[in-house]
């Protein structure tokens, strides 16, 4: 039974997990969907009420019946490396690859359908509320009037991107920025703004959830530092225990979202209270593992290699 890792060639985080899978004696196949067709060959056959599929990479063959789990790490676009790449070839190749993988009942970290929904920030906030997290008041709006009204109500608010950096320019720094009610809100009409009440924090918290295992890390913030991702604070990440109430909410959230892996960001305020900021279903964990020594890559490897942890994708209405 083989673990399939969908990721690009250069991915040191995947390398860490592959090393753990080798230690555990679990067979691994690594595929960048960008290499299909080409380095990889696919075949799926639907006949007589049954289904069989194969994937081969560099001559090694994986049968769908022998697939234990799929880890969707940092996959390239299907067919992106093809000699005659095109949007259509990508669409056709996506159909063949993901259609075949969806036809089985393997376990996913994370299933693309759940990952897509979990990326939606407004959905995250709703799910966080329903899971019992404390969430700073937030508004998404294209109305300059409502944006200003929100800033007047909360006095100190941050503005950030909902979808992340602009595609095509992922290196553009886009730090969360503190603004006040006197800012110019006219630009909000040109594109939705995400405004959130500013939490004056004494630390950033990164909580990595691998199925039922939680790894929390804390990094002391500089006074008045708004976005902990940019700039050196002079502090490092240190392991920290998870408050019981927060742990309960994390378990509720990942069950609701259908995620086997999730990285949560919290702001620890001046009273030590943790505020939910966001949940990244494919958040990095390498930097946390390196600084804290928490065995996150091992936890990921164990989950992927496990015989029966959790159920695979369900075919509704079938026994």
Residues 11-70 binding its own copies (CB under 8 A) are: 36-37, 40-51
CB of 144 to its own copies, least distance (A): 10
Task: Say if residues 31 and 6 touch (Cβ distance below 8 Å).
Answer: yes
User: CB count, 10 Å around CB of 77?
Assistant: 15
CB of 34 to its own copies, least distance (A): 14
Candidates 69, 106, 110, 138: give the one binding its own copies (CB under 8 A): 138
Q: What beta strand segments (E) does the chain contain?
A: 2-6, 28-31, 40-47, 50-57, 60-63, 67-72, 107-109, 138-141, 157-160, 177-179, 193-197, 201-210, 213-220, 238-240, 261-269, 274-280
Residues 156-185 binding its own copies (CB under 8 A) are: 161-164, 166-168
Query: What is the 3-class SS of 217-237, one letter each residue?
Result: EEEECCCCCCCCCCCCCCCCC
Q: Is 80 in the site for its own copies (CB under 8 A)?
A: no
Select the span of 23-31, 88-96, 207-215, 240-248 touching its own copies (CB under 8 A). Answer: 88-96
**Count of chain residues binding its own copies (CB under 8 A):** 75
Candidates 65, 66, 99, 243: give the one binding its own copies (CB under 8 A): 99
Task: Say if residues 68 and 2 touch (Cβ distance below 8 Å).
Answer: yes
The alpha carbon of residue 111 and the mean position of all alpha carbons in its chain are separated, in whole angstroms, by: 11
Candidates 137, 180, 243, 310: give the one binding its own copies (CB under 8 A): 137
- Which CB, 5 or 257, lies closer to its own copies? 257
Task: Say if residues 93 and 55 touch (Cβ distance below 8 Å).
Answer: no
- Which CB, 43 or 284, lies closer to its own copies? 43
Q: Is 287 in the site for its own copies (CB under 8 A)?
A: no
């Amino acid at each position: 039974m083989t673990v399939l890792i969908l990721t690009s060639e250069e991915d040191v985080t995947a390398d860490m997990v592959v090393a753990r899978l080798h230690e555990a004696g679990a067979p691994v196949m690594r595929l960048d969907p960008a290499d299909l067709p080409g380095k990889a060959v696919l075949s799926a056959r639907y006949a007589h009420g049954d289904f069989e599929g194969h994937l081969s990479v560099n001559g090694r063959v994986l049968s769908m019946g022998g697939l234990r789990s799929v880890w969707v790490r940092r996959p390239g676009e299907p067919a992106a490396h093809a000699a005659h790449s095109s949007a259509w070839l990508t669409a056709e190749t996506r159909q063949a690859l993901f259609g075949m993988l969806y036809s089985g009942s393997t376990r996913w970290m994370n299933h693309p359908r759940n990952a897509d929904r979990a990326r939606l920030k407004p959905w995250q906030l709703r799910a966080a509320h329903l899971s019992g997290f404390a969430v700073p008041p937030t508004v998404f709006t294209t109305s300059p009037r409502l944006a200003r009204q929100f800033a007047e109500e909360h006095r100190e608010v941050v503005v950030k991107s909902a979808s992340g950096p602009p595609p095509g320019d992922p290196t553009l720094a886009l730090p969360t920025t503190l603004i006040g009610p006197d800012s110019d809100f006219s630009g909000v009409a040109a594109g939705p703004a995400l405004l959130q009440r500013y939490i004056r924090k004494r630390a950033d918290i990164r909580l990595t959830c691998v199925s039922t295992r939680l790894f929390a890390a804390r990094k002391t913030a500089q006074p008045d530092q708004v976005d902990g991702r940019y700039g050196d604070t002079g502090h490092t990440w240190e392991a920290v225990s998870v408050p019981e109430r927060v742990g309960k909410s994390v378990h509720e959230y990942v069950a609701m979202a259908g995620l086997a892996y999730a990285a949560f960001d919290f702001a620890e305020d001046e009273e030590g209270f943790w505020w939910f900021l966001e949940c990244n279903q494919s958040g990095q964990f390498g930097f946390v593992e390196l600084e804290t020594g928490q065995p996150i890559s091992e936890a990921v490897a164990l989950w992927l290699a496990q015989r029966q942890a959790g159920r695979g994708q369900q075919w509704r209405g079938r026994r």
